[in-house]
Amino acid sequence: MPRYSLVGYDSSDTSQRAFRFAMDLARACKGRVRVVSVLQVTQGGADACALMMTDSASERTRELQQELHILDPDTDALVDLEITHGSPGDVLLGQVRQHPIDHIVIGHTERGALGRWLLGSVSEDVLAGAHVPVTVVR
């Protein structure tokens, strides 16, 4: 049974469903949930990203904590939250190496072939590179 589930969270409907699923699983297995929200910077590079993270990280963390608490009141007791930057698939796989994650829960957003080619697919990246069980929530 999973004891520490990782959820990639971007406030989308599917990531909200993934979060709820992970919370239900954590309660059933007496586990915890690590929620990671990945900010992507498409212009300005690493310096702009570092400045953005410094200026808005604590505010974004508070907003995200409130959002998650609305979705599930047990958030304070069961959730570890991190906001970071980078490529979502790479960040999520890196979390598994850095923390004792034994399960990943991600939402899946349906995109056409052009959208996948332009933006990639986080769920495909995670499924291809994960060495722990992955649940994809639609």
For every residue of 50-62, DSSP letters joined together read: HHHHHHHHHHHHH
| pLDDT reading at 4 higher than 60 | yes
At residue 47, the pLDDT reads: 55
Q: Domains in the chain, ordered, with CATH?
A: 4-137 (3.40.50.620)
pLDDT of residue 41: 61
Prediction pTM value: 0.84
Region of 82 (left: φ > 0; alpha: ψ -120 to 50; beta: rest) is beta
65-110: pLDDT as tens digits: 999 999 999 999 999 999 988 888 899 999 999 999 999 999 876 6
Give the separation between CA 20 and CA 105, rounded to whole angstroms: 10
* Average pLDDT of the segment spanning 17-38: 96
Percent share of the chain, pLDDT over 90 = 58
Closest CA to 95 of 125, 70, 121, 67: 125
CA gap 5, 102 in Å, rounded: 6
Q: Are 108 and 123 in contact (CB under 8 A)?
A: yes
Mean pLDDT of 6-23: 94
Q: How far apart are the first and last CA of the chain?
A: 22
**What local confidence, expressed as pLDDT, does residue 86 receive?**
86
| Widest Cα–Cα separation across the chain | 44
pLDDT reported for residue 121: 72
Q: What is the CA radius of gyration of the chain?
A: 15
Q: What is the DSSP string of 79-90?
A: EEEEEEES-HHH
